Amino acid sequence: MSTITLISGSTMGSAEYVAEHIAEILENDGFSTVILHGPSLEDLSLEGLWLVVTSTHGAGDLPANLQSLADTLTQQQPDLSNVTFGAVGIGSSEYDIFCGAIRSLESLLEDLGAKQIGDRLEIDILKHEIPEDPAEEWVKKWAKLL
């Protein structure tokens, strides 16, 4: 089966925990995974399967550990037409720009040619005290699309 590169962006650690939990589930289903918390572009292969998990910081912003990747992607405009990806966002619906970080990163990846698999998961921490729970249900369905 395919290797899935999990890319997490987190301020307080929630997205890292979710990415690690998702990796565990995918590995139990026979996938191999690589987890990169806040990677640089040099850490990533420009082909294959990515699963991006990020929280939203401030007014819909990416966490600091993922912002530099987004900046590099924007500046260098690499061809990502050989990348397919899934997207998981974590945020609070009490903010106007709920899950704004994953939406902006998803848009950036698509602008660079990456193709999304399945629908984006948006986890509202006001409704899900343990964000790993909805992520677990989502990834089981997402993996069937691969």
* Rounded Cα–Cα distance for residues 59 and 121 (Å): 19
Confidence at residue 95, expressed as pLDDT on a 0 to 100 scale: 86
pTM: 0.95
Over residues 33-80, the pLDDT tens digits come to 999 999 999 999 999 999 999 999 888 899 999 999 999 999 999 999
Whether 50 contacts 84, CB under 8 Å: yes
> How high is the pLDDT of residue 77?
98
1-5, 79-83, 113-117: least confidently modelled range: 1-5
pLDDT on residue 55: 95
- In angstroms, the CA 56 to CA 46 distance is 24
The answer, yes or no, to whether residue 82 has pLDDT greater than 90, is: yes
% of the chain beyond a pLDDT of 90: 90
Q: What's the pLDDT score for residue 1?
A: 63
> How far does Cα 7 stand from its chain's mean position?
6
- The pLDDT assigned to 130 comes to 93
Say yes or no to pLDDT of 2 above 80.
no
